[in-house]
Amino acid sequence: MHKVDITGLDSINAGDLHRGAELYYNHFRPAIELYESDRTSFELASDEGLMLLAKLERDVRQVERYGEQLATKSVEDVENSVNHIRVLLIGKLIGYVLIGVTLAYLIIRILRAQQKVAADLANTLQIKSDFIADISHELRTPLTVLRANAEVALDLERACVHTELLEEIVRESSHMSHMVEDLLFLARSDAGALPYDWEIVYVPSLLRELAERGNVLARQYGAHVHIGPMTEGKVRIDRTRLIQAILILVDNAAKYGPTGNIITLCATKMGGEVQMEVQDQGPGISEEHLAKIFDRFYRMDEARAHKRDGSGLGLAIAKSIITAHGGRIEAESVLQQGTIIRCYLPLLKAPASVQLPAEPALTQNAV
């Protein structure tokens, strides 16, 4: 009874019930058993016993009512707790849903903002490319006319007092024409409007042609092109464009290298690619400049920039052409030892049952 906390009753407690039952059992029950021998004692005992039993019965009913109240209250407490927990769970669930919706909304806003920025950037780049293409096209015609008129004037009167000025006009207009052509090339390449005439060629024959044409450029600077190791295989290329890219590398190697510089062309198989190398014996490129040499208009220093004519776009054009062939380009250099430019192009896979025609015997001497 103590466990169910009935001690809080106003008229009864556990001790009262216990003592009442003990009194009935110890005092009145023996008297009641005297019914046959002592009728008077029996009657007195029975009256008092009945009164005590009635009191016990009332106390028990009171305890039962209190127990029912406790049970009812416990059920109500449980229901209240369940309702409270339910409200908390619903609140948390709603909170999680709101957080999820808010995050989704924020993510959507961020993505839309990024898409807008990307679209604006693409539009800006397109405007830039269109502008470069337009201005290059507009400049090309007057530069051509200027150069042609200067050349005509030189042909008409070589002894003219303005000969030196005319020759300078020819040189500078030629330089500007090359720069305009380079700008126009890159603008068309960025816009994806540059046509490519694809064909399949043998790597050794391509390397020989590169060495032959590269020597024409190299000799202008007192350099020489040498063919190094070559691999068999075929590549799918635009011959004119790829030769243009490699000759840009050869021209740079000869232009900035010492007199007597030997430029080596190699072609090595690397997995499913052919690695074409242009190696020189020049002054080399420092680490801080090496990663930027393929950027447009990038110049390492003023002395080098003005040493020879150039637009600062050659390596960017070479990279653009190599990338359009599904390849990549990279540079390695050691100061005072030289530079190696590597171009990687995909090799065509020949069927196992088909043998490539034999190439003429290869030599690795100078062309």
pLDDT of res. 354: 40
More confident call, 340 vs 140: 340
- Strands (E) in the chain, as ranges, are 199-202, 224-227, 234-237, 262-270, 273-279, 328-334, 338-346
Residues 78 and 211 in one domain: no
Q: What is the CATH number of the domain that holds 125?
A: 1.10.287.130
Residues 170 and 212 in one domain: no
Of 167, 190, 213, the domain-final residue: 190
Residues 205 and 186 in one domain: no
pLDDT in tens, 10-60: 555 656 656 666 666 665 666 666 656 666 666 666 666 667 667 767 777
Residue 9 maps to a domain: no
Res. 83: pLDDT tops 90? no
Res. 294: pLDDT tops 50? yes
Residues 78 and 152 in one domain: no
Q: How confident is the model at residue 273 (pLDDT cuts 50, 70, 90)?
A: very high
Residues 171 and 60 in one domain: no
Average pLDDT over residues 162-188: 71
Average pLDDT over the chain, rounded to an integer: 77
Token digits of residue 241: 């464009």
Q: Report d(CA 23, CA 20) in Å as an integer.
A: 5
Strand partners, 236: 200
246: closest CA among 268, 284, 275, 277? Answer: 277
Range list of H helices, 191-275: 203-218, 239-256
DSSP state of 13: -
Residues 138 and 69 in one domain: no
pLDDT in tens, 300-321: 754 454 455 556 788 999 999 9
Residues 213 and 123 in one domain: no
Q: Report d(CA 342, CA 329) in Å as an integer.
A: 6
Average pLDDT over residues 192-215: 91
Residue 305 maps to a domain: yes
Residues 284 and 208 in one domain: yes
pTM over 0.75: no
Q: Report d(CA 181, CA 178) in Å as an integer.
A: 5
Number of domains in the chain: 3
Residues 123 and 221 in one domain: no
Residues 184 and 125 in one domain: yes
Residue 3 maps to a domain: no
- Positive or negative, the CA dihedral 251, 256, 261, 267 is negative
Residue 76 maps to a domain: yes
- Domain containing residue 57: 14-86
pLDDT of res. 326: 94
